[in-house]
Structure 1
Amino acid sequence: MFIHGYNYTYQEALYRLVQMSVDAGQSQTSILFDWPSQGDLVGYVADRDAVAFARDDLASVLDALGRGGVKTTVLAHSMGGLLTLETLRQLKIAGRQRELDMIEQVVLAAPDIDIDLFQRDIRTIGRMKKPVVVLAAKDDKVLAFSQRLSGSTAAGALDVNDPRVQELAQSDNLQIIDISSLKSITGTNHDRFVSFAAAYPQLQRANKNQSGPVAGAGALVLNGVGDVISSPFRLTGAALTQ
């Protein structure tokens, strides 16, 4: 399931979903959750309100998928990450664990979420089946704009080499992946998750086999073609290795 971010029209979100599905060689059914973004650069504040409005609808979709026995991987971009975490938090508080258990994995691409809110939501939701993946880049221009508006650090702009970020990944069961070297289609550095899609099957296989630098929680750095080139640390089971 793809949950788009700020400044998306339905047509743009659908195109992006198809593009990523093809690039990743996706054979499973792809789902687009479209929330009412203004689809306009000046609609930032309105889009944040729309995210709050859409939480119940996303919860209903996840409930329907869960009732149908569908295991879902959620890829949420930018402000869609805020919608995703707030919805999962809502489900957790309501005691709707069944819906949470049917989520195979959550991937947050350049999440436009205040880091304090991010941590609170992650800790309220609790441990998922697999580590929550955060695709981050310090040079994301859209998140830089968001940070100027809010005065706080966005979860999608974390530095994987920062010991505090490494500690966060360890304590909260996260995979924080630096995708700064991947290609940006628009030059904003906010859409690198599209380039990441082609490398995702490789990372999934490594996780499934519990081998290589992407096993378990940790902080990773990718090169320009999506290969892991360094791992500031890796957590596998109870062992923390440098």
Structure 2
Amino acid sequence: MRSSTVWLLSGLLLCLALSGCTRPQQIIVGTPAPNAQIETIYVVDHQVLSRSGGTGLPDRRDAPSYAIAKVAVPPGHTAGRVEYPHDPTRGFVMADYQQQERTAHLRAIADAPGDEIVIFIHGFNTTTPESIFRLAQMRYDFGATDPMIVFAWASAARAGAYIYDRDSVLYARDDLVALLDLLIRNDTRPVTLVAHSMGAQLVMESLRQLALAGEQRTLDRVSGLIFIAPDIDPDIFRRQAQVIGDRDEPYVLLVSESDKALRVASWLIGGRSKVGLVSGTDKLSGLNVVVLDLTTLADGSKRDHLVAVSAPAAIQLLRALIQPGARDNPEFSAFLRQLE
């Protein structure tokens, strides 16, 4: 077992190494390969685009902007990867990016075919283009056909700005609540929220806010909650779930004990475990949760912080489990029994 001093040094080194790699918040449109697969992503954006470095943290938008992105997935794409972003000969390319007014944006989503609406809420240290590419990869790899929205809250996109990003989550609550309200007013389909890392904190805080305001109609339309490596303290998650109240569908938690990013985040708050670590789920007994432990499927990519959507073995398993009739499949039942 590592000493606390080693954990301290390794955490600091990781943060310093990554904080020097600030990525521009730019939308770069290019021409994709002729045989690339185009995925449509609806974008609700809080981030300040076209930032090219500097030492100060960006101001946050007063209100989100709206756009439709067309992402080209390259031929020969490997499941779980976002290959060579913006390289039209080898990688993911933003084939088109059209800003829209809010009303037109909502109309476009309402007109898109599908049985439900999926909103993806990204995690800590993520730019808008990265979140768009990641959702396009997920949509392609999982064979999804429903309309998918990126809610890009105002991450600073710096590993050294963890506290800034936690504040940005609080700043974005009202706008996520407003988006959910607008969607249910303009569409009759249920909504599934898929959140990664710190994005899970944003979702839980927004649902808690809806519950405190008595907005049960909106809460009832949120049918699915899927949290990938949730960066939430278990005590806070329990309190949030208690305020939100009973749900017909469980919270689905995709966790991994090998998640290096969450271990650093745990160190940053005094060694408290996170819900996204297997040890953190021990404190959730009695809550309506389904925990999928993907530790054995981790492949080391992305510091094992995106196992559910970056490890090919995990994608293969999860894609099989979400197929119609999966719950009646003996293999699915056997897998769930392993988690009890």
Q: Normalised by the shorter chain, which TM-score bucket? A: 0.7 to 0.9
Do residues 56 (structure 1) and 174 (structure 2) align? yes
1:188, 1:45 → 2: CA distance? 20
| Aligned twin of 1:97 | 216
For residue 18 of structure 1, report the CA deviation from its aligned partner.
0.2
**1-structure distance, mates of 2:238, 2:265:** 18
Give the Cα–Cα distance (whole angstroms) in 2 for the partners of residues 209 and 230 of structure 1: 12
Which one of 184, 191, 198 corresponds to residue 306 of structure 2?
A: 191
TM-score by length of 2: 0.59
Question: What are structure 2's unaligned runs of at least 5 residues?
Answer: 1-118
Q: How many percent identity over aligned positions? A: 35
Tell me the distance in 2 between the aligned counterparts of 1:81 and 1:121: 11
Q: How does 1:38-117 map to 2 (within 5 A)?
A: 38-67=156-185, 68-117=187-236
Are 1:156 and 2:303 matched, yes or no?
no
Which residue of the other structure, out of 119, 128, 137, is the alignment partner of 1:19?
137
The equivalences for 1:20-35 within 5 A come to 20-35=138-153
Partner of 2:125: 7
Larger CA Rg, structure 1 vs 2: 2
Partner of 2:256: 137
Residue 231 of structure 1 aligns with an amino acid whose one-letter code is: Q
Q: Distance in 2 between matches of 1:65 and 1:185?
A: 37
Asked whether 1:204 is paired with 2:326, we answer no
**Aligned partner letter, 2:225:** V
1:184, 1:46 → 2: CA distance? 30
For residue 129 of structure 1, report the CA deviation from its aligned partner.
2.4
Structure 2 residue matching 1:76: 3-state secondary structure: strand
User: Does the 8 Å CA contact 1:24/1:199 hold for their aligned counterparts?
Assistant: no
Q: CA deviation at 1:210?
A: 5.7
Residue of structure 1 equivalent to 2:32: none
Shift of 1:65: 1.3
Between the aligned partners of 2:131 and 2:140, the Cα distance in structure 1 is 14
For the structure 1 residues 146 and 133, does the alpha-carbon distance in structure 2 shift closer, same or farther, using more than 3 Å as the test? same
Under a length normalisation based on structure 1, what TM-score does the superposition of the two structures give?
0.82
Q: Counterpart of 2:127 in structure 1: which amino acid?
A: T
Question: Which deviates more from structure 2 when the two are superposed, residues 148-157 or residues 52-61?
Answer: 148-157
